[in-house]
Structure 1
Amino acid sequence: MSMVSSRRGLPLVLSALLLAVLILSAQADVKRYQFDIVMSNMSRLCHAKSMVTVNGSYPGPTVYAREGDRVVVRVTNRVEHNVTIHWHGLKQRRNGWADGPAYVTQCPIQGGAGSYTYDFNVTGQRGRLWWHAHIAWLRATVHGAIVVLPERGVPYPFPKPDAEAEIILGEWWHADVDAVEKQGRMLGMAPNTSDAHTINGKPGPLFPCSEKHTYALQVQWGKTYILRVINAAVNDELFFSIAGHTMTVVEIDATYTKPLAASTIQLSPGQTTNVLVRADQRPGRYFMAAKPFNDVPVPADNKAATAILQYAGVPTSARYPADVPRAVDRHLLYTIGLNVDLCASCVNGSHLVASLNNITFMMPRVALLQAHYGGLRGVFAADFPDRPPARFNYTGVPLTAGLATSLVTRLSKLAYNSSVELVLQDTNLLSVESHPFHLHGYNFFVVGRGLGNFDPAKDPAKYNLVDPPERNTVGVPAGGWTAIRFRADNPGVWFLHCHLEVHTSWGLKMAFLVEDGNGPDQSALPPPKDLPKC
């Protein structure tokens, strides 16, 4: 088997982070990766602008580990932007210090050669995840894959593929993404949509440019490939398909799932999906395509990215049970709202804001995790409401003026090991819209979804409590709701936010404060000595 991997490709590198990875395992030799930051002058798109990258590549380097490994990542920030790295989907047991969201679990790594070492174990997880910057919109170009292999001697619970390939879906602006975000904030409106979508850093031959840069995957007839697909786009939900081929979904967000045959898969920003593809068609060249999904009547980024596929099933098992909490200690209902608030500093005199339960989350100047364990008072309140303060027909006639929101830093406190059900309810404040939500520090079970208003008297009877999908990122349908369940057994402060960066920047986020337990392994680890200070 041979693979043509013309992947790591997009534009000029402003410079970036120095990433050194050391993987230590009791079951394997020490694996060392030296990821150096360089000044590059690549040109993969028309009119390319400077960009922040890791090791001079876009997407960044793939981190390989095996279930049970310890991973040590030293990050040195050589650009002017402050930076953090989030290891998306890794549960970080008792180790929020390595989670990475800026001002939630750590202060940022300062520009000008500031550094921080992320040190964590990969426990009880295997499959495909990813890492990305978690401050402003830098994850647009600062991201890469994480591949966690099963423990040695443990087979996949599906037919072993002959080979594998990474498919990272992204989006690209002809401008500095930080400037794009700031311009939108100044105008009080949604920022400009991206200029292109990419597959492994390349837009494909349909992009209007004199030079065609295309990712190509070479396969051999009759062999089966596992494609590890990540949606690393900043704001767009994407459809992915391969002309003439059927994909079999075998894993979502690094958890095995029952096999599902599909001609097209849809991924929200932050989600990962592994699919099996058998090269059984007439030898030739076939398009792979990523195209955005749009569910609101506003100008949308409608540019498809293409790549080339070129010829040269898992039931729930005893080993991976769906341990869904049956009894629930805390029932939470969070309404998702958009609003227009007055803004004296904005050009138009107003700006768009977003809220959960009418609270627009205000990011603190001190990291929440550090404030909690450092005993700092006045940084946050631990009284985030379990339910919206006002009940109304959430998905009825559009409300052109949203309910009043407050800009505060409030966390929801959860008792250790309590079982939680969270219903995320979209609303028609300004407009209904789908929202991908990501919970740090946990996987959760998606037990129910529906359109319209959630009915606590009727809808729980329809839940799947036997074999629901297990994820770390889930989409809330436009004008509908999604119910998730998890057990709060990982102490610390854990971020919950919409994975559309434009909505996160408007305040569509909050955090859970999970208390320590009483046992020896039920409290957060002490902070690292080199933890950045704000």
Structure 2
Amino acid sequence: MSSGGPACWLLSLSLALLCSIAAAKEHYHEFVIRETTVKRLCKTQNVMTVNGQFPGPTLEINEGDSLIINLINRGRYNMTLHWHGVRQMRTGWSDGPEFVTQCPVRPGQSYRYRFTVAGQEGTLWWHAHSSWLRATVYGALVIRPRDGNKYPFDVQPARELAPIMLGEWWEMNPVDVVRAATLTGAAPNISDAITVNGQPGDLYICSSNQNTTAVFPVNSGETTLVRFINAALNTELFVSLAGHNMTVVATDASYTKPHVTSVLLLAPGQTTDVILTFDQPPARYYLAARAYASAQGVPFDNTTTTAIFDYGLAGDAMMPTLPAYNDTATATAFTTSLRGLRKAEIPARVDESLFFTVGVGLINCSSSTKCGGPNGTRFAASVNNVSFVLPSSSSILQAHYHGDGDGGVVFTDDFPASPPVVFDYTAQNVSRGLWQPAPGTKVYRLKYGAAVQVVLQGTNIFAGENHPIHLHGYDFYILAEGFGNFDAATDTAKFNLDDPPMRNTVGVPVNGWAVIRFVADNPGVWLMHCHLDVHITWGLAMAFLVDDGVGELQSIEAPPPDLPLC
């Protein structure tokens, strides 16, 4: 829950939702999925878009407003949309992950997403949650305070820039990229460019003469609110603006204590709001972004995207100094500097204490055409050695709601609370006997209202890497992070129980751990997964099934009549 809103936010989330509805506005939009011809580097290609826009439309609302999005699929692929970071209180049918909360919207069909955004302010976003279609199907969701309320900043911004969306571009159909990798078991091709609002910038071949650099006009001396979103599929990004410091004031639609920095780190899925004062000598300044690549020996897109902040003067733009690609020290300094704006409301008890290992592995196989990984294997990924498999006959939520999945037809509720084998998770050489996960469609069941703590432990199986873990349907507090193996005897003392940051996506440090805590007060089925799409494709995901509580306000709503069929 964000800070600085109406007094009713101090109540439970369920009551906060009721308070919000009283002043809510309803916004209706039609999102038409169709192919659009786009050229960004050297090739012209047809890509999936919403309403012919790339990136897609920005949705602007006030806290407490409701959205109805009518998705009309006129493309050639199945499609769902996910409203990344929206709590979806009791409206899990609108969360969007394919075969988790709904069956896909097939070509020629439509579906209306209906939900209220209550108790959240700041920047979220929306994106496709089918295959790799979110490479081009995504857009910003801006949530401002209610009319008459101000931002909880010491200095109110004079204006806001358009949201800055960082993405990735392939010079081929991204669906073909992931299909080829899935067929062979190899790693997919890396992207050809990083983008700012769909534009690669000045530093790419074929881009310099095509007007492919985003330009943001600014006014000298003006204080401005700037919203950053990392919509990239597989790349964490360092971001810097030449000559300027930025004051972080919010992350993932939750306010933070002001923090001044020259470099931002955004993992895929994360958002960061900053205050920028344009107090430098009038000129043109590059905003630049490039990868934070934490895994050793793993290919990544090592290009740099640029945009221009223009004070209105002609001439060359000045370039910032970005950290090295593998600068984990700078990445850690940024993430550990974040603090919640106000004292956290953390339950003293922990009802469910879970320990989840997250990482990449390899599966042995016998078919030469489908063993494109190292040494005749297939890439796989897992949580607690379970490699998540999407069902196909029904979504997990539909099976749960109708009572026909708990017997194991669609899913089972025996996801392990801890890894099946305890080992040195971050050892330099993990035994090859631990590299092969077991496929399964398993959920972990939670009682309504349970206080949940999850230790997310990275592993060095195949290659250690920073994993951005996103939890649907919830915000959570990040109590601590560190390197090596989590040790409850010593690391619990490091927990910040006073003002930890609240997020919906946490970067689990390379060969390290992070601890999150939340209250399971939103019934439904909620996916938790790595937001590197290559990793969720390989199975780095699981789902929580949160049972209904007592009464209507603690129960998931009935499915809408237009919910797609499988």
RMSD: 1.8
SS state at 1:291 partner? strand
Q: Provide structure 1 residue ranges, at least 5 long, that are not aligned to the other structure.
A: 1-23
CA contact (8 A) 1:476 1:482 kept: yes
Corresponding residue for residue 370 of structure 2? 346
Corresponding residue for residue 518 of structure 1? 550
Corresponding residue for residue 247 of structure 2? 248
CA contact (8 A) 1:198 1:305 kept: yes
Matched, 1:437 2:469: yes
SS state at 1:521 partner? helix
Corresponding residue for residue 306 of structure 1? 306
Matched, 1:52 2:48: yes
Instruction: Quickly say closer, same or farther: Cα 1:75–1:442, change in 2 above 3 A.
Output: same
Aligned counterpart for 2:395 among listed residues 364, 367, 370: 367
Corresponding residue for residue 137 of structure 1? 132
Corresponding residue for residue 206 of structure 1? 203
TM-score between both structures, scaled by the size of structure 1: 0.92
Corresponding residue for residue 117 of structure 2? 122
Supply the distance in 2 between the matched residues of 1:73 and 1:322 (Cα, whole angstroms). 33
Q: Residue by residue, what CA displacement relative to the aligned partner does 1:310-334 show, whole Å, maximum 9, x if unpaired?
A: 01399866xx652122211110000
| Structure 1 residue 36: Cα displacement | 5.3
Corresponding residue for residue 383 of structure 2? 356
CA contact (8 A) 2:339 2:500 kept: no
| Structure 1 residue 251: Cα displacement | 0.2
SS state at 2:362 partner? strand
Supply the distance in 2 between the matched residues of 1:355 and 1:283 (Cα, whole angstroms). 50
CA contact (8 A) 2:27 2:67 kept: no
Percentage identity across aligned positions?
49
Instruction: Quickly say closer, same or farther: Cα 1:69–1:82, change in 2 above 3 A.
Output: same
CA contact (8 A) 1:257 1:315 kept: yes
SS state at 1:228 partner? strand
Corresponding residue for residue 428 of structure 1? 460
Corresponding residue for residue 331 of structure 1? 353
Q: Residue by residue, what CA displacement relative to the aligned partner does 1:272-330 show, whole Å, maximum 9, x if unpaired?
A: 0000100000001000001111122222210110000001399866xx65212221111
Which structure features the higher share of helix residues? 2
| Structure 1 residue 347: Cα displacement | 4.7
Supply the distance in 2 between the matched residues of 1:42 and 1:229 (Cα, whole angstroms). 23
CA contact (8 A) 1:168 1:199 kept: yes
Supply the distance in 2 between the matched residues of 1:122 and 1:498 (Cα, whole angstroms). 24
* One-letter code aligned to 1:368: I
* One-letter code aligned to 1:115: S
| Structure 1 residue 33: Cα displacement | 4.5
* One-letter code aligned to 1:332: L
CA contact (8 A) 1:434 1:476 kept: yes
Corresponding residue for residue 534 of structure 2? 502
Corresponding residue for residue 58 of structure 2? 62
Corresponding residue for residue 488 of structure 2? 456
| Structure 1 residue 182: Cα displacement | 1.2
| Structure 1 residue 400: Cα displacement | 6.1
| Structure 1 residue 39: Cα displacement | 5.8
* One-letter code aligned to 1:401: R
| Structure 1 residue 73: Cα displacement | 0.5
Corresponding residue for residue 21 of structure 1? none
Corresponding residue for residue 410 of structure 2? 379
Structure 1 residue ranges (4+ consecutive) displaced by more than 4 angstroms after TM superposition = 24-40, 313-317
Supply the distance in 2 between the matched residues of 1:234 and 1:338 (Cα, whole angstroms). 17
Corresponding residue for residue 3 of structure 1? none
* One-letter code aligned to 1:138: L
* One-letter code aligned to 1:427: T
SS state at 2:552 partner? coil
| Structure 1 residue 399: Cα displacement | 2.4
Supply the distance in 2 between the matched residues of 1:371 and 1:86 (Cα, whole angstroms). 20
Corresponding residue for residue 14 of structure 1? none
* One-letter code aligned to 1:335: T
SS state at 2:45 partner? coil
SS state at 2:344 partner? coil
SS state at 2:179 partner? helix
Corresponding residue for residue 82 of structure 2? 86
Instruction: Quickly say closer, same or farther: Cα 1:441–1:243, change in 2 above 3 A.
Output: same
